């Protein structure tokens, strides 16, 4: 859509009478170059890409069930498209160029509009040459507020990412480096967390919305200065809040925590080299009003109940062999097919329950993301486990997932290690 058509459509909607659920005022996201201080103050700044002059992009916060309109303007000198990760939206709003929309060309706009059916923590990011545009900074939080929010003093977003940055602050263009594509992917020498707020009081109860926006890094996290629980994964409330120990986020995964503040808060990445501080929340004062009480689960998500699976498919992560038809590096594949082909990996009737074995036949972990749906991870005892939109499968392991494919359209399945996706580890399913 060019600028003139865009303006025309805005005035056309403006004369429609308002009906039903109040829609939020439209958001505008202008994709553009930004400069950010990623290295410590006083050192070189970093030229990146972002939205509305910031990186990460501004937090979009909407109510569950309310029509959400986001006008994306492309102020870059290359094309782009924006994907609303984890939202069960209409296929044509999914933001996948060449599949659900045309590229937004430089200087053009596109209006995305959807009604988020589930409360929770989501995010948006570029879905065009995403191993590069996301790594350069084109992402931000997308928060869908609960109908009945939990009793907390603050609701804070913690977005994590990493970059390869030179000593002078410049971002090193190794986004599509073939060696990293063939291994664990582009992995930064700097990692950081961005908080939507920088101080709390002692004894505050706080909701922390953690988002892994890194292109390839799996974060093993420890949060110090708090006691509390994990209450949601990938936006979906857990039936029973879970311990904060062993908090691991694959790229694109989210975790919501509800914690009580016991001291200065540190967000630490754990690695073989030790602990690395990503972000901090300072303490200013003490909350004397808060009466301690147990952490209650969030309102349960309202998703279709799986039936008996009518198909059992296997999606095996492998090295690439047959070349893809759409370019790409073909270093990785699903079931020996690299990249997107005309035939989908699966074709489902709307509402069909399908079991899929995600089998990792490689020497690296992969975080497998399905667009437009959430699925259940099958627990080791065979029961329905966590609802997710991205599932981390360790090297040499496999995991079954069960999904009710109730959202019509053409939906991507890809590794969210974006180096692996560009290396060919992507396919699609068709729901009719």
Residues in contact with ligand C2O by CB under 6 A are 83, 85, 125, 127, 252, 369, 371, 412, 414, 416
**Which residue's C-beta sits nearest to ligand C2O?**
85
Residue number, 112 or 226, with CB nearest to ligand C2O: 112
Chain-centroid distance of CA 371 in Å reads: 11
Residue number, 85 or 399, with CB nearest to ligand C2O: 85
Chain-centroid distance of CA 421 in Å reads: 15
d(CA 234, CA 223): 18
Least distance in Å: CB of 264 to ligand C2O?
A: 32
Residues 409-428 as x/- pattern, contact with Cu ion by CB under 5 A: ------x-x--x--------
CA dihedral 94, 95, 100, 101 (to 10 degrees): 140
Cα torsion angle, 222, 224, 227, 231, sign:
negative
Residue number, 89 or 415, with CB nearest to Cu ion: 415
Length of the chain: 432
User: Per DSSP, what are the bridge partners of residue 279?
Assistant: 267
Nearest CA-CA partner of 121 in 148, 145, 137, 150: 145
Strand ranges inside 295-345, DSSP E: 311-319, 332-334
DSSP string, 96-129: -BTTTB--B-TT-EEEEEE---S-EEEEEEE-SS
Tokens of 189: 């020498």
**Which of positions 346-375 make contact with Cu ion (CB under 5 A)?**
366
Least distance in Å: CB of 252 to ligand C2O?
A: 5
Least distance in Å: CB of 414 to ligand C2O?
A: 6
Residue number, 96 or 261, with CB nearest to ligand C2O: 96
Least distance in Å: CB of 125 to ligand C2O?
A: 6
Least distance in Å: CB of 124 to Cu ion?
A: 21
Nearest CA-CA partner of 237 in 64, 69, 393: 64
d(CA 359, CA 314): 7
d(CA 9, CA 281): 43
d(CA 63, CA 290): 26
Residue number, 142 or 250, with CB nearest to Cu ion: 250
371 binds, among Cu ion, ligand C2O, none (CB under 5 to 8 A by kind): ligand C2O
Least distance in Å: CB of 215 to Cu ion?
A: 11
Which helix H or strand E contains 181, and what residues bound it? helix 178-181
83 binds, among Cu ion, ligand C2O, none (CB under 5 to 8 A by kind): ligand C2O
426 binds, among Cu ion, ligand C2O, none (CB under 5 to 8 A by kind): none
412 binds, among ligand C2O, Cu ion, none (CB under 5 to 8 A by kind): ligand C2O
127 binds, among ligand C2O, Cu ion, none (CB under 5 to 8 A by kind): ligand C2O
207 binds, among ligand C2O, Cu ion, none (CB under 5 to 8 A by kind): none
Are the beta carbons of 324 and 342 closer than 8 angstroms?
no
For residue 403, CA distances in Å to 92, 165, 264, 279, 410 come to 21, 40, 41, 35, 15
Residue number, 192 or 366, with CB nearest to Cu ion: 366
110 binds, among Cu ion, ligand C2O, none (CB under 5 to 8 A by kind): none
Residue number, 85 or 355, with CB nearest to ligand C2O: 85
373 binds, among ligand C2O, Cu ion, none (CB under 5 to 8 A by kind): none
Strand ranges inside 235-293, DSSP E: 236-243, 247-249, 254-271, 274-286
Asked if 329 is part of the footprint of Cu ion (rule: CB under 5 A), the reply reads no
Residue number, 261 or 421, with CB nearest to ligand C2O: 421
Q: What is the DSSP letter of 76?
A: S
Least distance in Å: CB of 139 to ligand C2O?
A: 9
d(CA 364, CA 168): 32
Residue number, 138 or 231, with CB nearest to ligand C2O: 138
Residue number, 88 or 217, with CB nearest to Cu ion: 217
104 binds, among ligand C2O, Cu ion, none (CB under 5 to 8 A by kind): none
d(CA 128, CA 82): 8
415 binds, among Cu ion, ligand C2O, none (CB under 5 to 8 A by kind): Cu ion
Residues at the interface with Cu ion (CB under 5 A): 366, 415, 417, 420
């Amino acid at each position: 859509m060019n600028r003139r058509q865009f303006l025309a459509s805005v005035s056309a909607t403006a004369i429609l009478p308002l009906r039903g659920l109040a829609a939020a005022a439209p958001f505008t996201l202008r994709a553009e170059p930004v400069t950010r201080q990623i290295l410590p103050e006083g050192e070189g700044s970093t030229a990146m890409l972002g939205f509305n002059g910031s990186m990460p992009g501004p937090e979009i916060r909407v109510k569950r069930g309310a029509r959400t309109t986001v006008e994306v303007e492309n102020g870059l000198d290359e094309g782009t498209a924006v994907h609303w990760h984890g939202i069960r939206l209409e296929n044509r709003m999914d933001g996948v160029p060449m599949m659900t929309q045309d590229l937004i060309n430089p200087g053009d706009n596109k209006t995305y509009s959807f009604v988020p059916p589930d409360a929770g923590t989501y995010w948006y990011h570029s879905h065009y040459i995403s191993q590069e545009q996301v790594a350069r900074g084109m992402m931000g939080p997308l928060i869908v507020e609960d109908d009945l929010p939990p009793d907390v003093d603050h609701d804070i977003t913690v977005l994590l990412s990493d970059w390869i940055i030179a000593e002078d602050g410049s971002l090193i263009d190794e986004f599509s480096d073939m060696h990293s594509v063939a291994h664990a992917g582009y992995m930064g020498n700097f990692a950081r967390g961005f908080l939507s707020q920088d101080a709390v009081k002692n004894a505050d109860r706080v909701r922390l919305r953690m988002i892994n926006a890194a292109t390839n890094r799996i974060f093993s996290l420890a949060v110090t200065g708090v006691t509390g629980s994990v209450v949601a994964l990938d936006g979906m409330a857990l039936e029973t809040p879970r311990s904060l120990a062993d908090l691991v986020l694959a790229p694109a995964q989210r975790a919501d925590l509800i914690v009580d503040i016991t001291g200065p808060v540190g967000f630490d990445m754990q690695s073989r080299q030790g602990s690395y501080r990503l972000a901090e929340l300072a303490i200013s004062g003490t909350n004397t009003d808060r009466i301690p009480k147990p952490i209650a689960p969030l309102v349960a998500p309202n998703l279709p109940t799986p039936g008996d699976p009518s198909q059992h498919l296997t999606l095996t992560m492998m090295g690439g062999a047959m070349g893809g038809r759409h370019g790409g590096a073909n270093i990785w594949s699903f079931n020996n097919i690299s990249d997107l082909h005309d035939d989908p990996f699966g074709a489902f009737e709307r509402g069909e329950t399908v079991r899929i074995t995600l089998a990792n036949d490689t020497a690296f972990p992969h975080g497998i993301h399905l667009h437009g749906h959430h699925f259940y991870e099958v627990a080791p005892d065979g029961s329905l486990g966590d609802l997710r939109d991205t599932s981390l499968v360790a090297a040499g392991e496999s995991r079954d997932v069960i999904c009710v494919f109730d959202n019509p359209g053409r939906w991507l399945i890809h590794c969210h290690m974006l180096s692996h996706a560009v290396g060919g580890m992507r396919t699609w399913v068709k729901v009719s």
